A and B are shown apart, each in its own frame.
Chain A
């Protein structure tokens, strides 16, 4: 039996549970009616069960059928209440007829009588009250489950994005080469080893904390770049020269944490590393004439010629894509990233974002 495509929300256990709840409620209703002295107990029970179970079947199956294309297992808009009304009507009319048949009631069914007599109205009211109560419970439980699912999904997405970022920043080549250099320095130049270790610790801490503190001051951003570039300078020796230029008045500007890190890494990886002679990296900050903050990473390395950017960045430029996405999410069209070839050789990567000075560290 394949009900999956027709009713993707169908679950035998919940379905059975709903049926059981309905049956119990019907028994309680019959008991209450009997206690108030309305007819024989067996007739009341059959009557009540017929009405209740038919209402439930119509509403529960109808809901499963109507929601096969939507995530929440409750029909959207007017369909929900309409289904409840249909279920109540079907229960009261069809179930009522079956009940009377059991009682041996020869009287033909009449709609006017069902809607005017005291017994008919009681049936209708009871069926309506119980159905609506059960539907409300169903509706809220379904919605809560869907919400729960959405929360879990978004948590998984966030964790995945964080892991990807961490993987990019704690690249194994970088980590093990740094450790290998440290190992050499410990024996040959202990003070330098200590300084390198301090930079590495600061780098690791910033990387691991990055996702927790979404923003920090530009001076902190530059301090982290200094850590990273110092590490790379020990590794690359004379092949890496660098300059960090931060005007004092921009030091307290708030920027997304470690925004520039992937850009500096790219400049080294794709700009300087392929060149035997290495090169120079300059990172600088300035205010634009329209009052925004411009951050630039310049290198005089291999340049863009070797890579074809005409068709957009290749998938390996995860760093660039990630920075672009962060800027877009945070600032919309107020932020942006531009990658250019420099006339004198090498690459200029510039980032523009709103300047917020009122939020010093």
Chain B
């Protein structure tokens, strides 16, 4: 390796953040920790700015969870052909393995259980060093596959709920409050749900409504074959999609029948749109 490896740590508990820094300093003296942050949003911002080689993300964090932050980062990460570095190697850190991350061992994504034990950290460090050395020797050629692999795993982790949900009743009518009255909107007429701050926008061909039910909750009550998740904050009626367009930077956008806006597709869900 020509330059020392650079790492970013995201962990919301200050003592544990310090401890991980210290443990890494012992296990990997050559590693430079470029930033330590306490929440998911800062993690995404700092990672984009500093472009580290390795990410240590706690899973449960305020703002964005470690998984959401990684997905968001993968989305915003500059493409290799735009001169960007390869996507960082991701290590997830968690107190309790509710996602059964063990299943992903020996993949591009590694995981650590808290309290982090020196020996286990050594294994992770060895794995990361091997991965970075491989990258250095093959330059950017391996980068797209790395990102794809990471995305595939994040997809699985984000889809695997921590607790098996009770089979929620399917939603048939959306009740949207509008001042003193409530609009009833049949789900069959909805083209798209879009999370915006504290509300979710409900788009039909003619109108839009605002509701307060979180997108995650809606997601559980809608048929996943009818409404596709295309972004952390967007669910789209699959049959209402007219076309998926790729812009000059390689990002996908959707055009809907009956609507003019263009909806960005996150890289996490871009695998849905491939020519048959």
> With a CB–CB cut-off of 8 A, which chain B residues contact A273?
62
Rounded to whole angstroms, the CA-CA distance of A278 and B217 in the bound complex is 24
> With a CB–CB cut-off of 8 A, which chain A residues contact B16?
177, 180-181, 184
Stretch from A56-64, A136-144, A229-237, A339-347 contacting the other chain: A229-237
A-B pair count, CB < 8 Å, reads 69
The verdict on B14 contacting chain A, using a C-beta distance below 8 Å, is yes
Q: Could you tell me the distance in whole angstroms from the C-beta of B218 to the nearest C-beta in chain A?
A: 11
> With a CB–CB cut-off of 8 A, which chain A residues contact B114?
176-177, 180
Rounded to whole angstroms, the CA-CA distance of A308 and B213 in the bound complex is 6
Q: Could you tell me the distance in whole angstroms from the C-beta of B168 to the nearest C-beta in chain A?
A: 9
Rounded to whole angstroms, the CA-CA distance of A102 and B229 in the bound complex is 87
Of all chain B residues, which has the CB nearest A273? B62
Rounded to whole angstroms, the CA-CA distance of A132 and B171 in the bound complex is 61
> With a CB–CB cut-off of 8 A, which chain A residues contact B38?
239, 276
Number of interface residues of A (CB under 8 A): 28
7 A-B pairs whose Cβ atoms sit less than 8 Å apart in the complex: A177-B95, A177-B114, A180-B115, A184-B18, A239-B62, A275-B62, A276-B42
Question: CB < 8 Å: which of B13, B62, B96 contacts A276?
Answer: B62
Q: Spell out B's residues near A (CB within 8 Å).
A: 12-16, 18-19, 38-39, 41-42, 60, 62-63, 95-96, 98, 113-116, 166, 198, 212-214, 217
The verdict on A306 contacting chain B, using a C-beta distance below 8 Å, is yes
Rounded to whole angstroms, the CA-CA distance of A143 and B214 in the bound complex is 52
Rounded to whole angstroms, the CA-CA distance of A276 and B10 in the bound complex is 13
Q: Could you tell me the distance in whole angstroms from the C-beta of A281 to the nearest C-beta in chain B?
A: 15
Q: Are B166 and A173 in contact (CB under 8 A)?
A: no
Interface centre among A176, A185, A274, A315 (most CB of B within 10 A): A176
The verdict on A183 contacting chain B, using a C-beta distance below 8 Å, is yes
> With a CB–CB cut-off of 8 A, which chain B residues contact A306?
198, 214
Q: Are A180 and B116 in contact (CB under 8 A)?
A: yes
Q: Are A180 and B95 in contact (CB under 8 A)?
A: yes
Interface hits, A312-328 → B, CB 8 Å = 314-315
Q: Are A274 and B115 in contact (CB under 8 A)?
A: no
Rounded to whole angstroms, the CA-CA distance of A274 and B214 in the bound complex is 14
Q: Are A276 and B39 in contact (CB under 8 A)?
A: yes
Rounded to whole angstroms, the CA-CA distance of A234 and B14 in the bound complex is 9
The verdict on A37 contacting chain B, using a C-beta distance below 8 Å, is no
4 additional A-B residue pairs with CB within 8 Å, beyond A308-B213, A314-B217: A179-B115, A180-B116, A305-B212, A308-B217
The verdict on A172 contacting chain B, using a C-beta distance below 8 Å, is yes
Of all chain B residues, which has the CB nearest A305? B198
Q: Contacts A274-B62, A306-B198 known; A172 to B15 CB distance under 8 Å?
A: no
The 9 closest A-B pairs by CB, nearest first: A180-B115, A176-B95, A172-B96, A237-B14, A180-B114, A184-B19, A183-B115, A177-B95, A276-B39
Q: Are A235 and B62 in contact (CB under 8 A)?
A: no
